[in-house]
Amino acid sequence: MEYRKLGKSALKVSTLCLGTMNFGPRTSEEESFAIMNDAMEAGINFFDTANQYGGKLGVGTTETIVGKWLTQNPQHRDKIVLATKVHQPMSDDVNDRGLSARHIRMACDASLKRLNVDHIDLYQMHHIDRTAPADEIWQAMDQLISQGKITYVGSSNFPGWKIAQMNEKAQVRHSLGLVSEQSLYNLVERRAELEVIPACKEYGLGVITWSPLSGGLLALNDDDGTGRRQSKSIKSAAQSRSDQLSRYGDLCKSIGETPTAVALAWLLNQGGVTSNIIGPGSRAQLASVLHVPTMQISQETLATIDEIFPPIGTAPEAYAW
């Protein structure tokens, strides 16, 4: 396993991050436990979840499963970097959502209880909240840090301007600021390259990619036929990009790698990317990508991938003069 610094922090995390969103709604508790055990044995030390995950089983379900696993395996707690998120609605209560100082503190305490831990290593804002002043957010986060309930603060789905604003505010408060941004980024969706990734580089944030396979679209025929690739939206996208995906499949075959592995390895070759979130629904899916951190992709192959999935450009040249 390969490890990289999480942004400007001294913390080192594995380049594959175990995403847990499937735990509960798609993957049984027993299988989830087995996946987490396998991830630990493979050297994955970065686990990501969110307080809202749980799907039809209800918000908080996924955190509860991770908490049960940690209760059964207390020796693992200090070996993993545990990340969760706050922002999404947790009930019908008008204040049980967003990034008000009140909700941040209450949501953190609730996550700690479900996860059965005394601190969260990386506490991430799941989405931007335009109604919450940056100073209010930092007031709550700084208090949680001083109380030892969280160690680092990260963002998710933030635009470049908000990353800049939050870090400028943190500097005034003499705080470390954001250390990571969890962003949608893959071969099909490259808009993060315009401003999000440049902002992360400027302010020292590590980029954690989510949906690195574009909902299964880039897996082509790698999956077992039970994932999101079977959804109507992904099938429609596959049809509209059939020629592009066919060229991609041929390229992967020519270098003897699966489309899934190449898509993940490509991201790890992009400047600023620290880790890819993988969301295996089974132990077999996890095992199939464990070699990705050690994969070598030639410059020629990277250039060909750019021809198949061309970048949008650089900001502001991509949309201004």
Average pLDDT over residues 82-87: 98
In degrees and rounded to multiples of 5, residue 290 shows phi and psi of -65, -20
Residues 12-22 have pLDDT tens digits of: 999 999 999 99
What is the Cα Rg of the chain in Å?
19
139: tokens are 């007031």
Kindly tell me if the per-residue pLDDT of 119 is higher than 80.
yes
pLDDT band at 289 (very low <50, low <70, confident <90, very high): very high
For residue 321, being part of any structural domain is answered with no
Name the nearest CA neighbour of 69 among 28, 107, 102.
Answer: 28
How long a stretch of residues is the chain? 321
**Chain mean position to CA 30:** 23
For residue 175, being part of any structural domain is answered with yes
CATH number for 253 = 3.20.20.100
Q: Number of folded domains in the chain?
A: 1
Measured between alpha carbons, how far is 195 from 63 in angstroms, rounded to an integer?
A: 32
161: tokens are 């301007």
In degrees and rounded to multiples of 5, residue 61 shows phi and psi of -60, -45
For residue 60, being part of any structural domain is answered with yes
For residue 319, being part of any structural domain is answered with no
pLDDT attached to residue 318? 81
For residue 318, being part of any structural domain is answered with no
pLDDT attached to residue 316? 80
Kindly tell me if the per-residue pLDDT of 57 is higher than 60.
yes
Residues 302-314 have pLDDT tens digits of: 999 999 999 998 8
Q: Give the bridge partners for 213, in sequence order.
A: none
Q: Is 53 assigned a catalytic role?
A: yes
Average pLDDT over residues 182-191: 97
Q: What is the pTM of this model?
A: 0.94
Contact status, residue 83 vs residue 122, Cβ threshold 8 Å: yes
pLDDT attached to residue 217? 95
Residues 227-266 have pLDDT tens digits of: 555 678 888 888 989 999 999 999 999 999 999 999 999 9
Catalytic residue among 3, 53, 248, 319: 53
pLDDT averaged over every residue in the chain: 95
Kindly tell me if the per-residue pLDDT of 225 is higher than 60.
no
pLDDT attached to residue 202? 97
pLDDT attached to residue 137? 98
Task: Report DSSP letters for 25-75, one per residue.
Answer: TTB-HHHHHHHHHHHHHTT--EEE--TT--GGG-TTHHHHHHHHHHHH-GG
Average pLDDT over residues 170-192: 97
Q: What share of the chain is helix, strand, coil (3-state, %, to 5)?
A: 45, 15, 40
pLDDT band at 223 (very low <50, low <70, confident <90, very high): low
pLDDT attached to residue 149? 98
Q: Which residues span the domain enclosing 25? A: 3-308
For residue 246, being part of any structural domain is answered with yes
Q: What DSSP element (H or E) covers 217?
A: none
**CA contacts within 13 A on the Cβ side of 7:** 26
For residue 55, being part of any structural domain is answered with yes
Q: Hey, is 152 helix, strand or coil?
A: strand
